[in-house]
Structure 1
Amino acid sequence: MTTPIFVLGEALMDCIAQPDGQLRPLMGGSPFNMARAAALRGASAAYLNPLSTDLFGQGLAQLLLRDGVALQGGQSRLPTSLAVVQVTDGQPSYGFYREGIADRDYAVDSIVTLLRQSAKPGILHTGSLLLIPPEHHKVVAILKAAREMGWTISVDINLRPKVAHDLTEYVQALREVIALTDWLKASDEDLETMGFANVAIGESHRLVHELRQMAAAAGMATHTLSRVALTFGGEGAHLDIEGQSHHLPVPRITVADTVGAGDTFWGNTLADWALQPHDDAASAGARVAQTLENAMKAAAINCTRQGCQPPTWAEVQAF
C-alpha cells in the first residue's frame, strides 16, 4: 500500500496576459498543480480545500478528477480565486485576487477530521498562498494536529511577497511553518526574499544547513528537517536527504514558459517517496540522484508546454 498524499492549498484560475491584451484563463495554483503532478506520477493524491460551485470551480474539479486526484474538500458557494499572470522571457509574475474565495472557505476542525479519517497517516503537503498571514494561523494549527497523528509534513514555500501586507510578518510566519516541516522545497527566489545570502546552486550544502539551523532555532525539538530540495531556475536543482545529496543542471529543452515547473518537480519528488513501500531515510538517500533526475525531467517536460501541464510517468520515462 502506497503512502497517501493529502494537499492543502489554493486552486485558482491563472489569467495569462496575451500579446493582444486579452486574458487566457488556465487552471492553476501551486498546491493544485502539485496534486495533479503527484497523481500523474502514480501516487494516491487527495485535494482538501473546497472548490467553488461556479464555472471555474467546476472546471478545476474536473481536471483534478481527470488526473486522478480525489476531492475531499467538498464545494463552496464562494467564487474561485483569480491570478493575473504576465509572462516575460518565459518567467511569470502574478497579481492575485484572494478575498472571499472558495479555497479559503474551510475550517481547521474539518481538515483535521479528514486527516483523522484516513486509513493511515500519510504525507500532508501545503505551501504558497495559505502561508500568508493571517491565513497561516489556520495552517499551523492543522500541521500541529497532523504531526500528533503521525503525518509527514511537506511544504513548498513558494513565497508571494507582493500579496503580503507585511513582509517581515510573512517571513516570521514561514519560520513557524518550517519548524513543523519534515520535507521542504524552496526556490532561489524564496531564499533571497527570506534574507539568505549568496544564494547559488554551488552554495546548496550551506543553504540546506542554514535552513536546518533556522528550523531548530524556531523550536523544533522532536524531529529534523530531513529532506530539502532547492531549485535555482535555469541553473538546476539540489536534493538533500539527511546529508546525502545530489544536484543536476536543467535538461536542454525549448521553453514555452515555466508556469508550474516547481510544482511539477515537487509533485514528482513526493510521489517517488510515497510510492516506495518501505521508504526510510536510508533507502530514499540511496536513490537521491535518481529521484532528482526524474523530477527534473518532469519539470522540463512541463516547461515545453504553456501553463502547468505535468507529464505522466510514461512521458517522464520516455524523455
Structure 2
Amino acid sequence: MENPETTLKIATAGEALIDLIGRPDGLFDPCLGGSVFNFTRAMARQQIGTLYLNPLSGDRFGRRLAQALAADGVQLARPEPVPQPTSLAVVALSEAGHPDYAFYRQGVADRAVSAEGLMRSCDAAPTLEMVCSGCLALAPEDAQIYLPWLAACRQAGKTVVVDANLRPSVMPDMAAYRRHVLAALQLADVIKASDEDLGHLGIAGSTPLEQAKNLLAGTNAHLMALTLGGEGACLLTRGGQVWRAREAAPVKVVDTVGAGDCFLAGLLTAVLLEKDLVLAQLADAPARRIVSHALASATLCVMQRGCVPPSRDEVLARMRDFPCQLTAETSV
C-alpha cells in the first residue's frame, strides 16, 4: 500500500519487534509488532507522511519489519540495517482477547539510538510538524535517549505526542518507571493514555475521567485522549472541555492488539487534517471530528486478528456508515 503523501509530517521513535502470539495448540505465530511500529504503519496507511527514526536489524525479522514499513509508505531515517538482532515479545491472549506481554530487548536493533542521532534525523526533515513516542521507549534505562530528544523537539516548535501505554509486568522497578513516564508526559503537547495506564501511574481520582483530568492538569499538555476499552474514549482539554465517544452498537472484538496504536494514529491524522487548528483553543466541531476518527480507527483494528491498521478511506467510510455516539460532557 503505497503512501501518496510524500511530505513528511510526523516522526516516530520507539520499538519495532516481532510479537510471538500464543495459539490454543501451544505454538506461536510470529507477527510484526511493537506499539510504535504499529502506530507508525497506522499513520502512513492514513496517508500521513511518516518518518521512522529507529534502526532495524539485518536479520530475517528485521527485513520483514523494513519491508512492511516501506510497503505502507513509511520513510526510514536509517535505511541501512544494523547487526543487532530484532526485539521479541511473547504475547498471550486472555479469553477476552486482551494481550499480556513478555519482552526480550537486550542489545537489540531498535535500541541502537541516541538523542543526538534522533535529533539529526528530525533536523534533516524540515517539514515535520509532529513527533511521537511512547510505550517501551519510556523504560527508565532509555531515559538518556528519549527525554532529551523530546525536549529538543518541543523547543524546536514541533508538537510532541507521548503515548503512556505502560508495560508494568516487564519493568523491574515500578517506582522508577512511573517517574520516567511522568517526566516524559511533562514534555508532551498531546497525551494518550488508557484507564489501565492511569491506574498503573497511581493518578489520584475516583474514576478514569477524574484521573485523566488530574493528570492533564499536572502537565503542560494542551490535549489528552483517554481510552476506555469497550466504553469508548474521551478527549480532554486543559480548559476543562470533555468529549466522549463510543460505538452506537456492539462491536465483535477479535482481539485488541494494536487498538490503542490505531486509535492514536486516527486521532493525530484528524489533528493534522484540520486547517489552522490551535490545540490550546479546540472548538467543538473539530474536537468531534478528531475523537470520532480516532474511535473508528481503533474499532476497525479490533475487528481483525492482530494489528491491521485501516486506511483513511476505510476509517471515513466507517464514520459515515456507523457514526459513533458523541457527547460533550463539560464545556467552558
- Is 1:189 matched with 2:191? no
- Say if 2:66 is the partner of 1:70: no
Q: Provide the residue aligned with 2:168 in structure 1.
A: 161
8 Å CA contact 2:243–2:288 kept in 1: the answer is yes
Cross-structure match for 1:303: 302
Q: What is the correspondence of 1:1-319 to structure 2 with a 5 Å cutoff?
A: 4-74=9-79, 75-89=81-95, 90-198=97-205, 200=207, 203-204=208-209, 206-215=210-219, 224-243=220-239, 244-250=241-247, 252-281=250-279, 282=281, 286-319=285-318
Maintained 8 Å contact 2:203/2:215: no
Within 1, Cα distance between the matches of 2:267 and 2:145? 26
What is the SS of the residue equivalent to 2:31? Answer: strand
Q: Judging changes above 3 Å, is the alpha-carbon distance between structure 1 residues 183 and 127 closer, same or farther for their aligned structure 2 residues?
A: same
Post-superposition shift, 1:138?
1.1
Q: Does the 8 Å contact 1:3/1:44 carry over to 2?
A: yes
Aligned sequence identity (%): 38
Contact 1:121 1:150 (C-alpha < 8 Å) held by counterparts: no
- The question of whether the paired residues in 2 share the 8 Å contact of 1:42 and 1:313 is answered with yes
Contact 1:3-1:123 within 8 A present in 2 as well = no
Change (3 A) 1:104 1:18: same
Q: Distance in 2 between matches of 1:117 and 1:284?
A: 33
TM-score (norm 2): 0.88
Output one character per residue of 1:69-128: Cα deviation in whole Å (capped at 9) or x when no partner.
111133211010000000112111001001010000112211111111222341110000
Separation in structure 2 between the aligned mates of residue 8 and residue 285 of structure 1, nearest angstrom: 31
Looking at structure 1, the residues matched to 157 and 26 of structure 2 have their Cα atoms a distance apart, in angstroms, of 49
| d(CA) in 1 for partners of 2:204, 2:187 | 23
Over aligned residue pairs, what C-alpha RMSD do you find?
1.7
In the aligned structure 1, how far is the partner of 2:282 from the partner of 2:188?
Answer: 20
Q: Decide whether aligned partners of structure 1 residues 301 and 57 sit closer, same or farther in structure 2, where only a CA change above 3 A counts.
A: same
Give the distance between the partners of 1:228 and 1:199, measured in 2 at CA: 18
Total equivalences in the alignment: 308
Cα offset for 1:297? Answer: 1.1
> Which 5+ residue runs of structure 1 have no aligned equivalent?
216-223
- Give the direction of change, closer, same or farther, for the CA distance of 1:83–1:284 in structure 2 (3 Å limit): farther
Distance 1:229 1:189 in 2: 13
One-letter amino acid matched to 2:212: V
Q: TM-score, normalised by structure 1?
A: 0.92
- Larger relative contact order (CA 8 Å, sep ≥ 6): 1
Distance (whole Å) between structure 1 residues aligned to residue 212 and residue 112 of structure 2? 34
Please give the secondary structure, in 2, of the residue aligned with 1:162. helix
- Give the direction of change, closer, same or farther, for the CA distance of 1:317–1:256 in structure 2 (3 Å limit): same
Any runs of at least 4 consecutive aligned residues in structure 1 with deviations exceeding 6 A, and if so which? none
